[in-house]
Amino acid sequence: MFGATGAAVTGLLLSLLTAAPAPAQETVDHASCRPDGLYATPGVDTPYCTVYDEEGREDLGANHQRRVIGYFTGWRTGEDGRDPYLAPDIPWEHITHINYAFAHVGEDNRISVGPDTPQNPATGMTWPDVPGAEPDTSLPYRGHFNLLTAHKERHPHVKTLISVGGWAETGGYFGSDGERVASGGFYTMATNADGSVNHAGIATFAESAVEFLREYGFDGLDIDYEYATSMRDAGNPLDQWVANPRRAGLNKGYEELMRELRERLDRAGARDGRHYLLTVAAPSSGYLLRGMETHGISRYLDYVNIMSYDLHGAWNEHVGPNAALFDDGRDGELAAAGVYTTAQYGGIGYLNTDWAYHYFRASMPPGRINIGLPYYTRGWKNVTGGTNGLWGTARTTTCPAGSGLTTCGDGASGIDNLWHDLDTAGVESPAGSNPMWHAKNLEAGIVGDYVEQYGFPTDLELTGDYRRHWDDTLTAPWLWNADKRVFLSTEDEQSVAAKADYVVDRGIGGTMVWELAGDYEWDEAKGRYGPGHTLTRTMHERFRDAPPYGATRATIDMPTETLDIDVALTDFPLGDNNYPISPKLRITNNSDLTLPGGTEFRFDLGTSAPGTARDQSGFGTALVRSDHTRSNNIGGLDGPYHRMSLKLPGWQSLEPGGTVTLDFVYHLPVSTPSNWTVTVDGTTRGLAGDLTRGTVPAGEGGGSPGGGSEGGDQGTNDGSTGGNGECSAPSWRADAVHTGGDVVSWNGRLWRAQWWTTGEEPGTTGQWGVWVDLGPC
């Protein structure tokens, strides 16, 4: 403007003065888009509506009514002489989300993908000779992240998440030299050696995760912590040195980690004008879940991806499907454990996708759950018994080095184990582990020219026929080579279509696949199968015209008014000693109402356990109604819930601030009981901590639908933050009362109270004091 004429300046000023006023910006009610049961960070207007509609359903893009989430691995770079699998190979039109595997927890407790060098697959590597893999030079990083960002711009309906951990990198990570560093990973970041929560490590990781998402343009964070269970020796045997001493505290550390991440992501999202996703890869085995208490982290997740595979494998002798949809009442491993004949189990087989889905369905709407599908096989050799190998046995004492096993399954090897991962002694670990495109070639009697890349001669001749078999009840296919007595559990179009129909019929949110590079396509020019999109395309086509997924957790009409009453299952014995499952059920009255004797509570318990739950404390826990009443779950459980009732004994009232404790007992794992109601003086209300959509606090003594406490004066009336002017949380005040979970701002930082407090200034109570530092505003 300094060179403009006076007339031009005058004209510009006049135009500015006479321009029509800008329209007022429309206020978005983001709370109306919050998914049912999802924890809401106190004091934050989380921008849910940037991801969800007003029914709490995720916007998945045109022609996508269900999620199709594909794991994309960082190690298929072509550097090992094998064909790479890069971003251009992803079936972008058929998927809705990509989980990049993997980042890890660094020794400084920060999220990391390794040093930023040209050799780093995630951020530095380039593929100049691969068509379609040209980097976007406008981005400050290269590698897979560059290509994912560039392709996502062309396919904006696809969201990308960074997945942290995995089997190999939960308790350590691989250095740039390819050697594994036994750092402790998630185990030490979240849990101290004495089993207490490592608040400092969690805060560091959470802060770095937010920075990472912003730096590389990811839409969310996927945690693949294998496993925060109290079952001894669970998870990678290489991590037992650090995991076993911490077993008693792993669940608590995991839950605190997920709450911290949820709150950090919500605050960052409010600042960035977008909602960041938080998800996990969760186990499906009833054995592992028994040691994860009630999977209390579910409330913090946008959705859960169930790893409903690896249900049978060469870690033991019992030959069965990798990922059966249903139980058939003949599972060899369950039969050997007496599951079908022990009355307390109710005849419920728990090594199948349907059981795992119903485990999580107890605490989440169907739309916040995705079932997992494997694009790989598992298998055994020298199988005896069974029907075409199914439910036979294959046992050996020659187990992989580093497995910690003295007896194990006789895993398929050689050409039946194409990926032939190595054990800690550098020897092939027999597991029958193959990408599905290789299994399809075995089925067709074809030796592909790719076998040389995996160390096999191209003139190799196959022994015997790999005949496909199918079981209608299990909804599972497999290959059986009678000459070699080899059993390979597979997936194909029939099984994937059946699982997709299962997802649609039950209103489930979608599917997750491990991993995209295992899918297949017939290559007419080469006369064999190779990597492709057949299974992913099958799912997409099945989902394209499906109705919207189920966004409501309860199957009954829930009250719209709530009371601030907290219920929790606590004090679980360690998993190995937790049968029958026997926690304490604690009911705490945070409202201003006295609950008289006879007050009735009702709640839904998942049908993943039989409807025989009881208390041993005189509260008369009883079954009101059951969605599944059969004496087994062959072909699937009939519905999600057992409706239960318990009452305060006539002689026992519950005053404001009071707690009652029950000894509770049930016999198979369930996730957190939900859909609670309480009836006081003829009026039935919900519970604020249940996080149900559409609820409002009760007038006197009501609770917040977001789950935060209503107790105490939480700030000044003028909106002053007391910090740097950017904090959305109310300011701490010396004369205010704060209770556990309250979040305040002070000196430019956010703080969360761990218990009741007044007069204690944030920043002065130390690492183990009442105030937890949540980072800068």
237-268 residue pLDDT tens: 999 999 999 999 999 999 999 999 999 999 99
139 to each of 7, 135, 211, 288, how far by Cα in Å?
A: 43, 8, 16, 42
Given a cut of 90, is residue 144 above it in pLDDT?
yes
pLDDT tens by residue, 349-392:
999 999 999 999 999 999 999 999 999 999 999 999 999 999 99
User: What is the number of other CB atoms lying within 10 angstroms of the CB of residue 196?
Assistant: 14
Determine the pLDDT at residue 777: 66
Determine the pLDDT at residue 695: 83
What's phi and psi for 121, nearest 5 deg? -60, -35
345 to each of 15, 289, 334, 361, how far by Cα in Å?
A: 79, 15, 11, 19
pLDDT tens by residue, 478-501:
999 999 999 999 999 999 999 999
Given a cut of 60, is residue 3 above it in pLDDT?
no
The number of C-alpha atoms within 13 Å of 776 and in the hemisphere containing its C-beta is: 5
User: What is the number of other CB atoms lying within 10 angstroms of the CB of residue 447?
Assistant: 17
Q: What is the mean pLDDT of residues 513-537?
A: 98
Given a cut of 60, is residue 769 above it in pLDDT?
yes
Given a cut of 60, is residue 23 above it in pLDDT?
no
| Residue 768 pLDDT level (bands cut at 50, 70, 90) | low
Determine the pLDDT at residue 772: 82
Determine the pLDDT at residue 714: 27
Three-state DSSP class for residue 606 = strand
Determine the pLDDT at residue 594: 96
Given a cut of 50, is residue 87 above it in pLDDT?
yes
> What is the set of domains in the chain, with CATH numbers?
61-543 (3.20.20.80), 561-697 (2.60.40.290), 720-777 (2.10.10.20)
Q: What is the mean pLDDT of residues 448-457?
A: 95
Given a cut of 60, is residue 653 above it in pLDDT?
yes
User: What is the distance of C-alpha 214 from the center of its chain?
Assistant: 21
Given a cut of 90, is residue 774 above it in pLDDT?
no
Q: What is the mean pLDDT of residues 191-211?
A: 97
Determine the pLDDT at residue 754: 77
Cβ-count burial 219-254 (b if 16+ within 10 Å, e if not)? bbbbbbbbbbbbbeebbbbbbeebbeebbebbbbbb
Q: What is the mean pLDDT of residues 17-35?
A: 67
Given a cut of 60, is residue 698 above it in pLDDT?
no
Determine the pLDDT at residue 590: 96
Determine the pLDDT at residue 705: 30
| Residue 697 pLDDT level (bands cut at 50, 70, 90) | low
pLDDT tens by residue, 387-416:
999 999 999 999 999 999 999 999 999 999
List, in sequence order, every beta strand (DSSP E) within 454-533.
467-471, 476-481, 486-489, 510-514, 520-523, 528-531
Determine the pLDDT at residue 706: 33
| Residue 707 pLDDT level (bands cut at 50, 70, 90) | very low
3-state SS track over 16-56: HHHCCCCCCCCCCCHHHHCCCCCCCCCCCCCCHHHCECCCC
Determine the pLDDT at residue 740: 72
Residue pair 306/353 in contact (Cβ under 8 Å)? The answer is: yes
Phi-psi category of residue 657: left, alpha or beta, with phi > 0 → left and psi -120 to 50 → alpha: left
Given a cut of 90, is residue 765 above it in pLDDT?
no
Determine the pLDDT at residue 287: 93
Determine the pLDDT at residue 738: 80
Determine the pLDDT at residue 246: 98
Determine the pLDDT at residue 767: 63
| Residue 771 pLDDT level (bands cut at 50, 70, 90) | confident
- The mean pLDDT of the chain is 91
pLDDT tens by residue, 33-59:
999 999 999 999 999 999 999 999 999
Please give the structure tokens belonging to residue 343.
């009355």
R_g over Cα of the chain: 27
Determine the pLDDT at residue 64: 97
Q: What is the mean pLDDT of residues 17-33?
A: 64
Q: Residues, the chain, total?
A: 777
